[in-house]
Amino acid sequence: MHQKIQFEVSYESKLMSTTATIPFSDVRVGMRARVASYTKDQPELRRLAEMGLTEGTEFEVVKVAPLGDPIEISLRGYRLCLRRKEADGLLIVVIS
Q: Which residues pair with 11 in a beta bridge?
A: none
3-class DSSP state of 44:
helix
Q: Cα–Cα distance between 49 and 35 in angstroms, integer?
A: 10
Q: Cα–Cα distance between 83 and 72 in angstroms, integer?
A: 9
3-class DSSP state of 15:
helix
Tens of pLDDT, residue by residue over 39-95, are 877 788 888 888 889 899 999 999 999 988 899 999 999 999 999 888 888 899 999
Asked if residues 32 and 59 have their Cβ atoms less than 8 Å apart, the reply is yes
Tens of pLDDT, residue by residue over 2-53, are 444 333 333 333 334 447 889 988 899 999 999 998 887 778 888 888 888 9
Q: How is the chain split into domains, by residue range?
A: 20-94
CATH topology for the 20-94 domain = SH3 type barrels. (2.30.30)
Torsion of CA 46, 42, 25, 20, to 10 degrees: -80
